[in-house]
Amino acid sequence: MATESPAPQAPVEDEPEQKGIKFPTAFTVLFFVLIIVWVLSFIIPPGAYDYVDCGDGDIKPVPGSYHDVEVETTWSGKLYDLWLAPVNGLYGQQAPQESVDAPVAATSEDVASACAAAVSDLTGTPEDQLTEADFEANVVFVGDKQQIGPYESGDMIGAVQVFFFVLAIGAFITVTINTGALDVGIARLVYRFKTNSTVLIVLLMVIFSLGGTSYGMAEETLGFYALIVPIMVALGYDRMTGAVVILLGAGTGTLASTVNPFATGVASDAAGVDLGNGIVLRFIMYLVLTTVSILYVLRYARKVHKDPSKSLSVPREGDDLLAAETDTEPPEMSGGQKAVIWIFMLTFVLMIFSVIPWSDFSDSLGNITLGWYFPELAALFLVGAVIIGLIGKLGEEGMVNSIVSGMGDFIGAAFIIALARGVTVVMNNASITDTVLNSLEGVVSGLTSGVFAVVMFIVNIPIAFLVPSSSGH
């Protein structure tokens, strides 16, 4: 009896790969930026401003004092700077600027303009009554900026503090995730807001904007991405929504900087005006920009929620599982899990509290000003990781493996920071930073106040790539 053989199946053809231009990674972009800046260092003439210490310990350039300088370097020396750029970007050091007897190009009027506010504060004399003797007694002229290198002695210019801070956040996040408390906490939060996710987006953006406008929240947001992005995905949005909730929230607040001492405070001091000047306008700007940003994010989020194909980000493996978890109510959290979540949140609260210079707002708040920065914050997150690991009962080996694994997950982001700092080091060692800034300064000089404000905003965009610090601007 013959049996029928099954018909052979047609071979399954692999789906053709989508062709198109793929944007390179951040490492590749920064590498080419580094090469371009290094090549430009052979073309852009070196130059420098005269620098002064107005008696307050803050060294600043004197406007209008730019002059050409000679840099004793060879082609091989510049090639050496390029070779060591990532290393110098991580832990390069710079010797302090040495005092000099007299400036090269700055006039007494230039110095008075730069130091009038500081000298007035030191002497108690109104600015319009300051004499040349007041400036001579308090102002110290310093020389050009020194070279940056791994074997120099002086100030740490490399990003090693931020580098280790990022690794510590990675360890803290991973240890918390491995306890299981974060997953359950996110699941319960998502379940609670699954029918009213708009409120959650608005609330989160307001919180981040308050951090931005009060103390310039920026790198401190890194740890929140691992928390907020899964929440947004689980609510039916995409990863881009989670990212912009943090980025636009904190960024918009920093843009307004109503009382940000690291931006508005430094600028007010340099201009010789009170921090409260213009605060009403800044507060109105904060309200308007924050509202516009929230509406923009909500518009995008609703569009993606309605039609996922409109997303600007590519779905990742596991995103569909996160979204499916909202259909059933998650289990109640145990006492240990609640303790882990509380410590997790309090660690971030302490981080925010510790970096705010409360004494800048009132002398009476000096006792609560911790004055922490990246070294202390890195230690905070490492200690927090250990405490959470103990409460979460990960065990010694599990805790150590989680810390090491978390640092490994964040090493890419940390190295990008060091590589970006390397670009700044190349510009410094070629003495072209002041040349670029002087060219940009020439664009805004002589403008009316209204036009100046607009042009200055535009000019600060390229400056932000060269000087990634609001205080530095």
Going by C-alpha positions, the residue among 358, 362, 353, 403 that lies closest to residue 383 is 403
Cα-based distances in Å from 166 to 221, 310, 414: 10, 32, 6
Q: Measure the CA angle with vertex 188, ends 209 and 241; round to 5°.
A: 40
Q: Residues 365-369: what's their mean pLDDT?
A: 78
Give the least confident one: 221-235, 352-366, 377-391, 420-434: 352-366
Q: Which residues contact 472 (CB under 8 A, 6 or more apart)?
A: none
Q: Which residues contact 186 (CB under 8 A, 6 or more apart)?
A: 227, 230, 231, 234
Distance CA 305, CA 318 (A): 17
Q: Which of 58-62, 76-80, 189-193, 407-411 has the lowest mean pLDDT?
A: 189-193
| CB neighbour burial string for 133-144, b if at least 16 within 10 angstroms, e if fewer | ebbeebbebbeb
Report the range out of 42-56, 214-228, 248-262, 365-379 with the highest average pLDDT: 42-56
Residue 208 tokens read as 């981040």
CA–CA separation, 397 vs 378, rounded Å? 21
pLDDT level of residue 465 (50, 70, 90 thresholds): low
Nearest to 250 by CA among 289, 197, 294, 213: 213
Rounded alpha-carbon distances, angstroms, from residue 19 to 12, 16, 23, 341: 20, 9, 12, 44
Phi, psi of 6 (to 5 degrees): -65, 145
Question: How many Å apart are CA 72 and CA 457, to the nearest integer?
Answer: 35
Residue pair 359/365 in contact by the 8 Å Cβ criterion: yes
Q: Could you give the strand order of the β-sheet that contains 59-61, starting from the edge strand earlier in sequence? A: 59-61, 51-53, 140-142, 99-100
Average pLDDT over residues 448-463: 76
Mean pLDDT of the 36-55 span: 91
CA–CA distance, 324 with 373 (Å, rounded to integer): 40
The count of residues in the chain is 473
Residue 303 pLDDT more than 50? yes
Average pLDDT value over all residues in the chain: 82
Enumerate residues 6+ apart whose C-beta is below 8 A from 373: 161, 355
CA distances from 344 to 177, 221, 350, 355, 385 (A): 11, 14, 10, 18, 9
Mean pLDDT of 116-121: 84
